[in-house]
Structure 1
Amino acid sequence: MLLSLLPPLLLLQWSLTSGEIDPYLLKATSQAVPVVTEDSVTSLNKPAKILINPQENHIFIQTDKPIYKPGQTLKFHIVSLDFNLLPHNQVFQTVELQDPYSNRIGQWLNQTTRIGILDLSHSMSPEATQGYYTITAKDEKNQQISQRFEIKEYVLPKFEVKIDFPTVLTVKDEEVILKVCGIYTYDKPVLGSVNTEVCVQSNYYKPVFPNKLDVCKKYSMMADKTGCGSQVINVSTFGLSSGGSFQVNCNMTESGTGITMQGSTSAVIIYDYVRVHFEDTPDTYRPGMDFEGKIVVTNSQSRPMENEPVIVYALYGGKKVNVTLTTDISGTVDFSFSTSDWSEETVKLWANHKGGKKRPDSEAYTYYASGYHDVRPFHSEDNSFLLLTYAPENPSCHNEITVMVRYTIDASALKLGQTTLQFSYMVLSRSVMAQIGLLSVNVNSRNGAVITGDLKFTLNDQHLLVPFAHVVVYTILPSGEAVAGNILIPNQACLSQVSLEFSSSTVEPKEMVYFILKANPGSLCSVRAIDQSVMLLRPEAELDAATPMVLSGLEFGYGSEEEKPTQEIRKSFPETWIWDLIPVGKSGSVKVAKMVPDTVTKWAIRAFCTSQAGFKVAPKTDLTAFKPFFVSLTLPYAVIYEEMFTFKATVFNYLPKCIMVKVTLVNSLQFTTQPCKSCTYTQCVCSEESQTFQWIVTPSELGKVNITVRAEAVQSQGLCGNKVVSLPDKGRVDTVTQSVLVQMPSKI
């Protein structure tokens, strides 16, 4: 009897005194309680033992970025939500910051959240030890949460390497194309060279070349105007064997600077076979109700196969029935079987793909792919069942969700002359009752007959049913048996009821922009923007505000003035641009103005909000800061005092025509310079191209030393090759100042 489904319903009356259940339970416990239910047809009065779980809060810590340099400021939020994902204001007795050796280097006492969010920061020492640090927060109930971050001496990458290579190869393959591309963070192609090593690790049990298990080959290529280099690889020369794998390691070197970034990928080696597997297929069946499921057919490249024949078998009680079907454009096929003679025993399902092709016997088992799935009967003493479905299949937050209930009731389980049967339903989300109701159907009880039918109802307040709704429907038969069915309905779309839109998707550095943040009235929103380069440095650690969903069981125009000889210097290059807590008033919308930093890059924007409507997440947003003519400095993290190093600056031209560029390293008392041999500091730079300039620099001061470079498009009567030199109307000058850390030799 499914008493565990019943207590939340209105039909049930809990005979509890105030002292029977402690509302402040600190750990899970079980208690016996009397349960009483009664209507005009059935009655039930018996004790039930229930498991009572304490209501736990959900706490998570979000740092503004996953990695820091010594001397940078750590910024972090501690977010506290109750079991219903509503903001939970509480006091954190202690918040501690520990270094890699577990020494406490920071502490906050008795800190209170604001609408569920606590905002803290800590300036790290310039001499901070490199390694992983830990933030630990403990609340008044001694509930504890920790978050790690890394401190490291690093230089942000300016581009990433993307590899296009099959993830699966077959022993029948002869050639594949390897494509390697370099992309700057502002979405422009990288010009340079690519060196690749491709290795095959053979199957130890069946090597094609017994005396050489690993075969490696190296390839070199130049990136074209799109930033990509391609290579046809004759994989048949590697001696492929099933069970082996390909490992591809690529180094892309930027022209001029010599900066190298790495990328890698891998591929498994298999026989030429088709994969068949069951998907969205239940593990149980209701005797007397049709059993429905889905099969997906993919090829060796994991791509769906259309118009492929699939034979689905059901094996039970010494019988074997089958149906032949054809896959659709998505490689899927829906099937159903009558369960009328399945005799309440475990049924084995077997899906077989033949493909209409003949294969040698030695390969038949690898090609004639099969999928297997066992289903067991759902037991009912009165042979009565409920089956729940819902529509639409992928609901949005604004669509109505309709729950359909198919019922099969054995008429002999009803009272003689009974004409109606009541069904009760409840909708739960995050362990909280959100909706209940009653549905009545007409029945004509006849001994030996089976009563079947369908009923449906609509879910209310869908925005509260996140990240999923648990729907339970039941009826109590005169025998006392509760016939029940349940279904989980995903509803994560309603978590994204926050929008953040910028006035433009692409802007210039130093430009004022605004964004409009929309959320539930009274929300407190965390908005964060960090340089995409940080994501490249730690791609596995991208901070996504959607991550906490698992807690519940569950991411302007340009000026037109004439350019003046001087221009404001670009010198603000923060890794975190925005880290704000923004309140949203009664209107549900707020407009925020910001000045874009000086970095030419893409800014990754993420936001989440807390309010009495719950925890909401904004879709990911990006803002690109870009200018068509700029200079970029290439500096190491640190250099040695009074020791020469080669300093490079690269000028990029994304204007439509060639320009003549004069580049100047501004003199400073902090260092001495000398030009490199055969270097020319006035050169042509044509459209979609770059030129790198270099100097020999000797630092004469310790600490941070500023280096300033000025690039100017100048008038020229000469030609760039056979192309006329153009002088842009605006954006002719770009001046950049960046710093490099100068240390004594023992520090490097």
Structure 2
Amino acid sequence: MKTRRKSTGLAVFLLAAMLATLAPACERVPDNVDGYTAVLPAALRAGTTQVIPVSLFNGAAPASGQVMLTLLKDGQPVAAATERVSGAGALKLEVPNIPEGEYQVALSGPGFRDEAKVAVSNSYLVFLETDKPIYKPGQTIHIRVLTLDPDLMPVSDSVTVEALDAKGTKVFRTVSSTDAYGMATMDLPLSTEPNLGAWKVNAATAKNKTQLDVRVEEYVLPKYEVVPDLPREWFLVSEQIKGKVTATYSFGKPVKGDLTIKATRYVGQWQTYSTVTIPIDGQAEFTVPATGYVAGVPAAGGQGNVQLDFAVAEKTTGYTEKTTKLLTVTQSSLVLQSIPSGSIFKPGLPFGFLVVSQTPDKLPVDTRVNARITYFRKDFTTVSAEQKNVNTVKGKALVEITPPKDAVALTIDCSAQGASTTKTIESGYSPTGNFIHLEQTSPAGAEVGQKATFRVYSTSEATNFYYEVLARGSVVFSDFSRGDELSFTLTPAMAPGSKLLVYQVLPNAEIAADYLPFKVAGAYPQEVKVGFTTAQAKPGDAVGVNVTTQGQAKVGIAAVDKSVYILAENRLNLKQVFDDLEKLYMLPQAELHEVIPLQSIKVRGASDTFKEAGVVVLSNKKVPGGQQFQNQVFRGRGGPFGGIAIEAAKEGALPVPSPAAPPAAARADQGLASVQRVRQFFPETWLWQEVVTDASGRTTLNVTVPDSVTTWMLRAVAISQTHGLGIGEAQLKAFQPFFLSVDLPYSAVRGEVFPLSVAVYNYLDTAQTVQVQVEKKGWFDLLESDTRSITIAPNDIGAAQFRIRPTALGTSDVKVTAQSAQAADAVIKTLIVEPEGVAREMVDNLSLAPGDIKTLDASLPPGIVDGSGRVYLALTSSYLTQTVNGLEALLQMPFGCGEQNMIVFAPDVFITRYLKDSGQLKPEIMAKAEKLMLTGYQRQLTYRHSDGSFSAFGSQDKEGSLWLTAFVLKSFSQAKDLIYIDNGVLDAARSWIVSHQNADGSFDQVGMVVHQEMMGGIKGKTALAAYVASALMQAGEKVASAKAAAYLETKVQETTEPYTMSLLSFALETAGSAKARAAYEKLMGMAREDENGLHWGGDILPLDPPSPQPRAGGP
């Protein structure tokens, strides 16, 4: 028994110790509850479990009781959680997958019930990536969309992807769905002449949206990258600018040549003041004279700018790559900042601010700083002032102050070495003067698994501090502490940033609170390893791409020429992922206010703290709000607060500074090495595909290295249903020690001479005497010898040039070979040779009845450019049906000016429409037609005026063309369900046409038509009104088209010209007019019937347009 008593006593002692240190709820907690507090996120995420901390009180002491939390929609329960709470506890509320919107929460317990409004959110992340950041006309934009929840796990949903061209016009729209892995892909083909500039690609779901900018430009991939390296981003006005420049080929070798640096300073206008040229061999150091004088810009704090333009010209060939660097020019080498430890101070509590002394490019400088702190009352009179002199170490010094209890605002004025800064901070508010203040004592940005520690300062002694960690819209951790030190382990759910909310209940039933955002180093939940089976390979080699994931995952693979990323960068990465997470749950992170005189002070209370932390409080305790004090004395500039820049703190603790091939066999006959492979495949995007790893998380792609000598940048975006998102990257160097490159224009005109430039790169250990030869072909004349002999030193470049005159039309190949005794290379490039003169097309049609034999005259008209004539014969079973083999004869690629483009675009639409309506549209034909129509649509938008009209040359013309705008409106309206057409384009064109309608329903010609042949037989107001009315009816315009139809009804009897009568008859039939039958009968009465069948004759003259303005070239 004694032993048992000892054991029981020991157990009681240990239990008491545990209760005393672990939970106030485990002490002697009375059941009579007279107070409660529950804190929950202001926005609950659907489909998640929300942990809701609850505290019960008897006075200021803890109490116990049964508590229920209910989520309601319009008074009807949708979820509930019940728990017995002893002092402090938590309810686990299972939020179902319910629609977004406003809901209510009700907290009930012994003797109380409280309600509040909350939001339910279904928001998740949408990411966009394209294969490249920049595209040429005619290329295809490959798009990948990812939809993920806030835990970076896949979400399947419908997604709408749209593209806006450089003028902001929507040119592409498609609706797709992300699969079970949260991934979807689509392609956007570009026309050969799109609007150049920055395009926007948007992806939107019902829950979120995102945007990615790409550039569409006419460019040539750079051969090498020019990278300036300067010791800093700023220089004194009297200081020489020194640095170095590195020039490296995309395949990793250094560039030899000349470096030219042009220095331009801003003196009210940009002025070149120095040009320096020096040799470069991969790297070169340079010195540019001091600027001497620059104009300071007020928005930049009085600092000026100098621009350095760097150009590296390749030795021998003269090929040049450029880049630019903008530097700051300043009078002083010191910049001061004061960074407060919080966005407000608490009167009577310690408050710290960090003094930062650094150079203009943020490098630390140690100096002595004078800091003057002035405190103000609510009536804006001075309470007191104090002086703090500190020495910065590594550019930083912490200053501790304790503001007086009656201070509602303070200013911090810091100065050193002629530099100065001013900061204004406002106080928090408590009716009894009680506050708590949070400070992070562990390093910011700690990694998952590490401890985070914080200190709580309080002006009033309280039994417990209750604290919660909120991340991504949920409470991910909650606890309480009796001491002023808080500590917890960082979890993945807290990355990339969380908020620590701390509050205490005072004996007078008032709540004091503070919160502090803190950073957590992020990491992908999915570990992805991707790599090639070798680090370096020759063009044409077979290599493998190994992908490893955590379990089965879908992986989007992209491999792009590094030269593309020299131009621009847009790859999906960890920073973008976690930046988007912060946008979803952590905004606002900081505020920046303009320089204004302080006319009022807003002191914040506990309710402001809870609101800013993004939580809702249910409590019968006092949660004081803030107060506003108006400055009746200081208006405008002057006074203690005049002209002060008020910048809110970064809402966190004081920041921690960032840490700083073997040679080929020789040919016996000529002593030259033989060519082992002819290179002719040079893509910018090599790989763009999706694969799924097996159950063990592995897969291998077997691929062939393209013919480019470059570095291939490989990226793998993986999503698994169990581990979420991960991204892996790798590189492959495609290289051979001896190779040539050929520079050709995109196209040439027959008969015009152009230079074919060849560069030969020798990275062998010995000099090479190289024979460069252009293979003779029948499509061009060589104006000199087809062979050049050049000697190239090791690790050097040689160049040869051949003058060529094309003699044959079409797309042809040119083969260039470079051979030495040790090595050889050959390249085939293509060139488009266009005919001289202007393109014209003639069409003849006939119909055949069974047994008919007819002859077509296929002779070419006089004056045709030799070799440019083509005759196509298409036989179809009906007037419009086309077979796949004859598709090219009817469906054509739109080109030319705004009129020429429509001449080709409209038939593409009409043919596709007919095939679809007749059930003969095959998938392969639709794929072809869709690309052609998208191309024509994008191109036509380049000829659109700001008022919505169209003309042959767009904004170059003084006004839009009524006839062409009607033609566009009709064609676009008919194409609307075949491809994406922006409704805004249709509405604007329709409105512009209606604005030019006469009172009687007719139209006068506006603008000019260059290609009169495209108007057919339109002559006079009646024909024009009939055509425009048909376009308006096709576009769904009822009022104006009815008015035009009424006008046309008055013209049935007086119209005598067959073509006009046919337009009038069609318009009235479409309008459902009572005069439609009479118009049709009159049209048929004008017909002639002979051995050729039924037809209409008569001299048809086009409407005389206004005289066109002179212009250079044709449309």
TM-score of the alignment, normalized to the shorter chain, above 0.5: yes
Q: For 1:595-634, what per-residue CA distance to the aligned partner results, in whole angstroms no more than 9, with x for missing partners?
A: 3322122223333333346653536544332222221222
- 1:442-457 matches, within 5 Å, as 453-457=484-488
Which of the numbers 214, 224, 235 marks the counterpart of 1:169?
235
Q: Aligned residue for 1:347?
A: 410
Q: Which has the higher contact order (CA 8 A, sep 6+)?
A: 1
Pick closer, same or farther for the CA change 1:267–1:5 going to 2, 3 Å.
Answer: same
Contact 1:545 1:606 in 2 (8 A): no
Question: SS at the partner of 1:675?
Answer: coil
Contact 2:250 2:710 in 1 (8 A): yes
Pick closer, same or farther for the CA change 1:478–1:283 going to 2, 3 Å.
Answer: same
Aligned-partner Cα distance in 2 for 1:295–1:313: 12
Paired residue type of 1:529: A
Paired residue type of 2:752: E
- 1:101-180 matches, within 5 Å, as 108-109=174-175, 111-124=177-190, 139=205, 141=206, 149-164=214-229, 167-173=233-239, 175-177=240-242, 179-180=244-245
Normalised TM-score (structure 2): 0.54
Aligned-partner Cα distance in 2 for 1:338–1:250: 50
- 1:56-75 matches, within 5 Å, as 56-75=123-142
Paired residue type of 2:446: P
- 2:251 is the counterpart of 1:186: yes
Aligned-partner Cα distance in 2 for 1:243–1:438: 50
Paired residue type of 1:553: E
Aligned-partner Cα distance in 2 for 1:374–1:547: 33
Identify, as 1 or 2, the structure richer in helix. 2
Q: Aligned residue for 2:616?
A: none
Q: Aligned residue for 2:370?
A: 311
Question: SS at the partner of 2:566?
Answer: helix
Q: Aligned residue for 1:738?
A: 829
Gaps of 5+ in 1: 39-43, 205-212, 355-367, 415-420, 442-451, 715-726
Which of the numbers 667, 685, 691 marks the counterpart of 2:792?
685
Aligned-partner Cα distance in 2 for 1:146–1:275: 36
Contact 1:546 1:617 in 2 (8 A): no
Paired residue type of 2:552: G
Using the TM superposition, give the Cα deviation of residue 132 of structure 1 relative to its aligned residue in structure 2, in angstroms.
6.2
Q: Aligned residue for 2:354?
A: 294
Contact 2:530 2:716 in 1 (8 A): no
Q: Aligned residue for 2:311?
A: 251
Contact 1:66 1:149 in 2 (8 A): yes
- 1:582-731 matches, within 5 Å, as 582-612=691-721, 616-618=725-727, 621-675=730-784, 681-714=788-821, 727=822
Aligned-partner Cα distance in 2 for 1:37–1:436: 23
Pick closer, same or farther for the CA change 1:654–1:345 going to 2, 3 Å.
Answer: same
Which of the numbers 533, 539, 563 marks the counterpart of 1:533?
563
Contact 1:36 1:46 in 2 (8 A): yes
Which of the numbers 520, 523, 532 marks the counterpart of 2:553?
523
Aligned-partner Cα distance in 2 for 1:109–1:171: 56
Pick closer, same or farther for the CA change 1:571–1:234 going to 2, 3 Å.
Answer: same
Aligned-partner Cα distance in 1 for 2:797–2:225: 18
Question: SS at the partner of 1:491?
Answer: strand
For the aligned residues, what is the CA RMSD? 3.8
- 2:580 is the counterpart of 1:551: yes
Identify, as 1 or 2, the structure richer in strand. 1
Q: For 1:639-686, what per-residue CA distance to the aligned partner results, in whole angstroms no more than 9, with x for missing partners?
A: 22342210111111223332222222233344333436xx97222211
Q: For 1:123-174, what per-residue CA distance to the aligned partner results, in whole angstroms no more than 9, with x for missing partners?
A: 54557675666655565x496666554444432121233334564232333x
Aligned-partner Cα distance in 2 for 1:470–1:584: 37
Question: SS at the partner of 1:11?
Answer: strand
Pick closer, same or farther for the CA change 1:540–1:157 going to 2, 3 Å.
Answer: same
Normalised TM-score (structure 1): 0.78
Q: Aligned residue for 1:391?
A: 442
Using the TM superposition, give the Cα deviation of residue 530 of structure 1 relative to its aligned residue in structure 2, in angstroms.
1.2
- 1:351-370 matches, within 5 Å, as 351-354=414-417, 368-370=418-420
Question: SS at the partner of 1:89?
Answer: coil
Pick closer, same or farther for the CA change 1:349–1:35 going to 2, 3 Å.
Answer: farther
Paired residue type of 2:499: H
- 2:335 is the counterpart of 1:275: yes
Paired residue type of 2:429: H
Q: For 1:51-96, what per-residue CA distance to the aligned partner results, in whole angstroms no more than 9, with x for missing partners?
A: 415322332332211333344333111222235443210134x555
Aligned-partner Cα distance in 1 for 2:109–2:424: 37
Larger gyration radius, structure 1 or structure 2:
2
Q: For 1:530-582, what per-residue CA distance to the aligned partner results, in whole angstroms no more than 9, with x for missing partners?
A: 11222233x2656657534333225xxx6799687331222221111222323
Contact 1:24 1:54 in 2 (8 A): no
Paired residue type of 2:680: K
Pick closer, same or farther for the CA change 1:55–1:71 going to 2, 3 Å.
Answer: same
Aligned-partner Cα distance in 2 for 1:136–1:85: 20
Paired residue type of 1:115: Y
- 2:344 is the counterpart of 1:284: yes
Contact 2:665 2:674 in 1 (8 A): no
Aligned-partner Cα distance in 1 for 2:238–2:428: 46
Paired residue type of 1:78: V
Aligned-partner Cα distance in 1 for 2:776–2:112: 92
Aligned-partner Cα distance in 2 for 1:387–1:287: 14
- Select between 311-320 and 622-631 the one with higher mean Cα deviation: 311-320
Contact 2:144 2:183 in 1 (8 A): yes
Aligned-partner Cα distance in 2 for 1:595–1:280: 58
Q: Aligned residue for 1:491?
A: 520
Paired residue type of 1:327: T
Contact 2:559 2:688 in 1 (8 A): yes
Pick closer, same or farther for the CA change 1:390–1:669 going to 2, 3 Å.
Answer: farther
Using the TM superposition, give the Cα deviation of residue 27 of structure 1 relative to its aligned residue in structure 2, in angstroms.
6.5
Pick closer, same or farther for the CA change 1:594–1:576 going to 2, 3 Å.
Answer: same
What is the number of equivalent residue pairs in this alignment?
669
Q: For 1:365-420, what per-residue CA distance to the aligned partner results, in whole angstroms no more than 9, with x for missing partners?
A: xxx212322333333455141414263433234x4232434242623xx5xxxxxx
Gaps of 5+ in 2: 1-35, 43-50, 56-67, 79-95, 297-301, 376-381, 584-660, 667-672, 839-895, 897-1112
Pick closer, same or farther for the CA change 1:267–1:455 going to 2, 3 Å.
Answer: closer
Contact 1:4 1:50 in 2 (8 A): no
- 2:272 is the counterpart of 1:216: yes
